[in-house]
Structures are given as C-alpha cells and as structure tokens.
Amino acid sequence: MAEQVVILGATGSIGTSTLDVIRHLDGRFRAAAVTAHTSWEKLADIALEFNPDIAVIGDEQFEQPLKDKLSHTSIEVVSGSSGLTRASCYEKGDIFITGIAGGIGLQATVNAVRTGKRVGVANKEPFVMAGRLISEIVQETGCEIIPVDSEHSAIFQCLLGEESREVNKVYITGSGGPFRTWPIEKLSQATKKDALNHPTWDMGPKVTVDSATMMNKALELLEARWLFSLSPSQIDVIIHPQSIIHSMVEFCDGSIKAQMGNPDMTLPIQYALTYPERTSSCREYVDFLKVGSLTFEQPDPDKYPALRIGREMLHKKGDRWGTIINSANEVAVDLFLNEKISFTEITQLIEKAVAEFASEEDCTFEEIIALDNKVRSFLKKEYICDN
Ligand code: MG
C-alpha cells in the first residue's frame, strides 16, 4: 500500500517539488493531506489531481470557494489554524513534509514531530526558533527526522555509518547569492528584482532574499546545531558558487565526505521519502564536464553582515537568539519585498532587534511565541518612526 504523505505547504516551492516526486514514483506514495496559506485555486488543482483525504486552506475567506470547487469529491475541506492542526496531526499520515516558509510553521512542525512518525524538515525556521524544545519532543516520541534543506540532507547523508565522536567539522556550503560579485558600495541600491535573481537555485521569494543576504546560511547554522547536536565551533560556512556540493563533513582523520548533486530540491525531498532506499530521479544527473570546476571562497563579513550575526548568535546561550533574528529577518524581508526598505536595511533592522531583546535565557514555547510577536511589533514601530 502507498505510504501516506502529508504536505504542509503544498503550493509553495517545496510542496510543488514534493508533488513532482510523488508523481514520478507513481503509486509508491500518496498525498494524503495538502495545505496552503492563500493559494486556494492552486490547492484545488492539486486536490483534483491527487485526491487527498484532506485539503486545508489557511485563510478562512477561501474555504467556501475551495469547498465549491471540490464539492463533487469526498475530500474534506478545512480552514484556519484548526485546519492546519488537522493536517499536521493527521493520524493516517506516515510522512510529514514541512514545506511552510517561515516561523509561521512552528506549531505545524511541533504537531508533526509529536506524531512520532517520519518528518521531512524543509521548514527550517521552527528549528531556528525552538530547536532545543523540538529536539526534546523528538527524543520523547521517537520521531524520525530526515532533513530536506539541501545542506542538511547532505550532512545527514555524509554522517550515515559514521560515529559522531569522529566528526571534526561540518562545512555548510552556500552559493553566495546574486550579489557575490557585486561591490559592497552598490548593495544599498540592489532592487527586489536583483535580489530575486538567484544564480543557481529556483526557490520561493523569502528564501531567495535570505540567500542574497546570506541570512539563509545564518539560519542554517542554527538549524544544523539542533539537527545534528553539533557544537558551534564544529560548524562553518563556505561559499561554493556552483552549488554542486551541498555540504561536507570532515572527520578526525582528515578525511572529508561531500554530498553532491544538481541544485534541485527534488533530490533531498525524494531521499527523505524513500530513505534508506535510493531510487531513480525524474531530473537531470550531474555532468561534471559541463560543471567544469568546483570553487570555494571565504564569505566576506562586510558584504554579508547577516552571516556574521548568525555566527555570533550560534555561540550565545539560551533559546531567544534564534527567534529574535528569525522574526526580525521575516519582518525586514517582507518590508524589502514590498519595496519599503533598501537591501542593506534588512540587516540593520535585525541588529536593532538583537540590541533591543538580547538576553541569555531559555524559553518555553509560549515564551517563544510571545517573543516573536514582540519582535515583530517593535520593528514595525521602528519602521514607522523612521519613515
Ligand atoms: Mg538550504
């Protein structure tokens, strides 16, 4: 019988690629529940093609139009946060893919982990915000976490069959984004269009802007720490513009394992579904002669201040740092995508939030959610005062 897959965020970049994999591995997996935030028409098309048990639309105003579109089917249509809870706790789900973008996916990730089933983690922000607390639930429930974020999938694959005590260091690779070759002086004039023009990966707008600031790598440092129980000094970021090596692990004897593949999210998604098995891909395989060379650079801290902030946070105690930088970044990226602030102001806003909320305490989930709200309203006020 097909394995039942719950896709949280089915209309986004991760969801679309997950559905490509399910289509490709015809019959082996089934989309049992699909969710979307506002794209109800796209969700209706997905539901009509994949015939899930449940379709969830986050924005309640679209519940009725979605119900009308699916009225001739037996698909259960639910909306709002109770709908998202219904999908993220779905008792018939065997594998949960967390493809929601941003901290808004926190509760859904926690619910999925509480099921004790397999969770393919693409939504990194919940781990950045509440990695310690989620790791505790993983321990309690025996949930099987398989990373889908390409770098973390690479680290996971490199660590298979290895002893964690023999790991020296993990190198998280990043392309350097669209501004890698830009002079620093020009960055304040970078437009939304420039920032969304990623050289190697095709992803959603939020993560593409994060890739341009390299905040994406800052978040991935925090994510890696919790996913693999690494100490801060064991994790490093290196720029690799070709995006063929997705990350590397160095062992105590100096041997290094790298996981490679084309920059295509179907690869880590398919692996999270079929693990420990591997099966044929629906996409192109790497042609090294076409790639030509694999190069590496040290990220320039002046060009990527967001990465510097991330490194600093990684070394600090307490649970609050991840939420502060993540929530601040989400507000700032949103303002940038709405053309309200310049590209370089993204990190300036994050620094303001860090200065305002810094303290080295551990938090409960409730405190994390309260802190998230406080950071958001603080920055919105700051933005209004400055403008
Ligand atoms: Mg990544």
Can you tell me the distance from the alpha carbon of 306 to that of 164, in angstroms, rounded to the nearest whole number?
29
Q: How many angstroms is it from 63 CA to the middle of ligand 1?
A: 32
> pTM for this structure?
0.96
48 alpha carbon – ligand 1 mean position (Å):
31
Q: Is the pLDDT of residue 384 over 90?
A: no
User: How far lies 335's CA from each of 6, 30, 153, 376, in Å?
Assistant: 31, 38, 31, 12
As a whole number, mean pLDDT of residues 298-303 equals 96
Tell me: the pLDDT tens digits for 228-262?
A: 999 999 999 999 999 999 999 999 999 999 999 99
User: What separation in Å is there between the alpha carbon of 128 and the centre of ligand 1?
Assistant: 13
Q: Which of 75-79, 265-269, 354-358 has the lowest mean pLDDT?
A: 354-358
Whole-number average pLDDT of the chain? 96
Residue 203's pLDDT is 84
Q: How confident is the model at residue 111 (pLDDT cuts 50, 70, 90)?
A: very high
User: How confident is the model over 84-92, as a mean pLDDT?
Assistant: 98
Output the CA 271–ligand 1 centroid distance in Å.
15
Q: What is the mean pLDDT of residues 65-94?
A: 98
CA of 62 to the centre of ligand 1 (A): 31
| Helix (H/G/I), strand (E/B), else coil: 230 | coil
Write down the pLDDT at residue 377.
Answer: 96
| Residue whose token pair is 């551990």 | 362
**Mean pLDDT for the stretch of residues 135-161:** 98
What is the whole-number distance in angstroms between the Cα of residue 75 and the centre of ligand 1?
33
The Å distance, Cα 371 to ligand 1 centre, comes to: 25
Lowest-pLDDT range of 146-155, 253-262, 316-325: 316-325
Neighbours of ion ligand 1 (CB under 5 A): 149-151
> Angle, to 10 degrees, between the axis of helix 150-159 and the axis of helix 266-274?
50
Residues 123 and 112: their CA atoms lie apart, in Å, by 12
How many CA atoms are closer than 13 Å to the CA of 30, on its beta-carbon side?
13
Residue 239 CA to ligand 1 center (angstroms) comes to: 13
**3-class secondary structure, 120:** strand
pLDDT at 323: 96
